[in-house]
């Protein structure tokens, strides 16, 4: 069953502390909200996402989703005073292109999995809603105002609710319109409307970030799941007529130019290919075919920026870049600092994570004979 998701991000999250609402706080390299959106978008049956935000958070939302180039993410709508009323606005925004099913999910649960979503979807039916939950395993005791225990309570049949809560779209929309705007959650609204609601097994990591200490647990989970990738690139351009070369974005006066379809920046090409390689997304030639006249004479920062854009869209940041230029001349050393600076400017990566160095090939081979310049590069990318 295809589904749309409503992500409720309108709260202020006061219990988590801090100057920024918790859904906009960073968890590793991205915000909690971006992580939650990526987790939902990772499900192949997710056809669109409607986020409900606080009226003061438009700029925060734009920043948090800037790297998410996914057409399934719709423009956010502004929430209302209560959670139920905010969800109602999210549902109403989906009505113009109504989905069969809708999952309503907390922005502060970034570790929801495809498996949990599948279990919820499988349990939804006509007149039937579902949500994930965990059985209570601890003993339950009540205590009075002085913390003196007053009695034991059976835990059998008790569940701790998680989200996403799943419904037939038309049914929950109607229930919201008829329901109580102060209802604690959508299960309450569904039951009030006469729907049967089923519990499916949740996931211990699908917890809601509520208190400051929850961020510590979330940071540990992110570290455990860190995805580190490396890629390499290699490129060669021959010398041709001209009075300068462009290497890693820096123009160096020289007795020859470099020939090639673009500006022939052999160093930047090797770096760009290293990033595409780490992403397993082909190479410069596939993204910018030499047969396409629009790239004739193109400045190579366009290629590098594209690779960086793809890395961001896939949830990766560049941890380090290392490039070696191989030639007898021109001398690279005096320009290496300017090259690192220019690469840092284009990529947004700190200069202390970017290396440019040079070697000769001891007058051997084509570089040794002064016929051209070769470059090799490696890139290390880290998820999250
Ligand atoms: Mg090239």
pLDDT tens per residue, range 128-143: 999 999 999 999 999 9
Q: Residue 374 C-alpha to ligand 1 middle, in angstroms?
A: 9
- Measured between alpha carbons, how far is 76 from 156 in angstroms, rounded to an integer? 40
Render pLDDT for 190-205 as a digit per residue (tens, 0 to 9).
999 999 999 999 999 9
pLDDT over 70 at 384, yes or no: no
Closest residue by Cα to residue 88 from 181, 5, 13, 4 = 181
Average confidence (pLDDT) over 97-115: 97
Instruction: Flag whether pLDDT at 14 surpasses 80.
Output: no
How many angstroms does the Cα of residue 76 sit away from the middle of ligand 1? 41
Task: Quote the ligand 1 centre to 320 CA distance (angstroms).
Answer: 21
Classify residue 353 as exposed, middle or buried by CB count within 10 Å of its CB (0-12, 13-18, 19+): middle
Task: Grade residue 90 by pLDDT with cuts at 50, 70 and 90.
Answer: very high
* Mean pLDDT lowest among 116-125, 210-219, 273-282: 210-219
Q: Cα(259) to centroid of ligand 1, in Å? A: 9
Q: How far is the CA of 228 from the centre of ligand 1 (A)?
A: 26
Distance (angstroms) between ligand 1 centre and the Cα of 171 equals: 57
Ligand 1 center to residue 286 CA distance, Å?
A: 12
pLDDT at residue 246, as a whole number: 97
How many Å lie between the centroid of ligand 1 and the Cα of residue 310? 19
Q: How confident is the model at residue 38 (pLDDT cuts 50, 70, 90)?
A: very high
pTM for the structure as a whole: 0.79
**How remote is the CA of residue 349 from the centroid of ligand 1, in Å?**
22
- The pLDDT of residue 333 is 96
- In this structure, of 7-21, 67-81, 367-381, the range with the lowest mean pLDDT score is 7-21
CA–centroid distance, 70 to ligand 1, in Å, is: 30
pLDDT band at 297 (very low <50, low <70, confident <90, very high): confident
């Amino acid at each position: 069953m295809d589904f749309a998701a409503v992500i409720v991000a309108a709260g202020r999250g006061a219990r988590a502390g801090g100057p920024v609402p918790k859904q906009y706080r960073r968890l590793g390299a991205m915000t909690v909200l971006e992580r939650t959106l990526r987790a939902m978008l990772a499900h192949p049956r997710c056809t669109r996402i409607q986020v409900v935000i606080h009226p003061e958070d438009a700029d925060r939302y734009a920043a948090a989703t800037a790297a998410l180039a996914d057409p399934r993410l719709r423009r956010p709508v502004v929430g209302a005073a209560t959670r139920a009323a905010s969800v109602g606005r999210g549902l109403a925004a989906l009505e113009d292109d109504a989905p069969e099913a809708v999952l309503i999910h907390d922005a502060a649960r970034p570790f929801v999995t495809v498996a949990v979503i599948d279990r919820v979807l499988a349990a939804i039916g006509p007149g039937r809603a579902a949500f994930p939950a965990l059985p209570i395993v601890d003993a339950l005791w009540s205590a009075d105002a002085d913390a003196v225990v007053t009695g034991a309570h059976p835990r059998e049949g008790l569940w701790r609710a998680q989200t996403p809560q799943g419904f037939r779209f038309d049914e929950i929309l109607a229930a919201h319109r008829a329901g109580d705007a102060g209802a604690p959650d959508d299960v309450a609204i569904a039951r009030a409307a006469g729907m049967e609601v089923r519990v499916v097994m949740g996931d211990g990591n699908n917890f809601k970030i509520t208190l400051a200490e929850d961020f510590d647990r979330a940071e540990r989970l992110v570290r455990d799941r860190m995805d580190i990738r490396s890629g390499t690139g290699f490129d060669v351009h021959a010398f041709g007529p001209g009075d300068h070369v462009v290497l890693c974005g820096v123009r160096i006066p020289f007795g020859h130019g470099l020939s090639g379809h673009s500006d022939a920046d052999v160093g930047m090409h090797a770096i760009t290919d290293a990033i595409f390689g780490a992403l397993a997304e082909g190479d410069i030639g596939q993204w910018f075919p030499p047969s396409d006249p629009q790239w004739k004479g193109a400045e190579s920062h366009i290629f590098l920026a594209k690779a960086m854009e793809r890395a961001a869209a896939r949830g990766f940041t560049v941890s380090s870049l290392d490039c070696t230029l191989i030639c007898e001349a021109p001398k690279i050393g005096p320009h290496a600092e300017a090259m690192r600076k220019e690469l840092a400017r284009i990529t947004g990566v700190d200069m202390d994570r970017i290396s440019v160095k040079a070697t000769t090939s001891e007058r051997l081979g084509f570089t040794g004979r002064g016929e051209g310049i070769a470059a090799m590069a490696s890139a290390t990318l880290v998820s999250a």
